[in-house]
Structure 1
Amino acid sequence: RRYRYNEQVGYRCRDGYQGGEFTLTCGGDGWIGRSTCTVSFTFLESVGCGSPPPLTDGDIKYTIKSNYSHQERVEFMCQSYYTMEGGPHRTCINGEWTGQMRCLKPCIVNEDLYRQHNITIKSSDSTFFTHDEIIEFRCARGVPVGAVAMRQRCNGGVILLPTCQ
Structure 2
Amino acid sequence: MINDKSEVFEWLKALFIAIAFAFVIHTFFFTPVLVDGASMEPTLQDQDRMILTKVGEPKRFDIIVFHVTEETDYIKRVIGLPGDRIEYKDDRLYINGKLFDEPYLDEFKQEVIDGPLTHSFTLRETPIKSEVVPEGHLFVMGDNRRYSTDSRHIGAVPMEKVVGTTKFVFYPIGKIKIIDK
TM-score of the superposed pair, with normalisation by structure 1: 0.26
Higher strand fraction (1 or 2) = 1
Higher helix fraction (1 or 2) = 2
TM-score of the superposed pair, with normalisation by structure 2: 0.24
Question: Which structure would you say has the larger RCO, counting Cα contacts within 8 Å and 6 or more residues apart?
Answer: 2
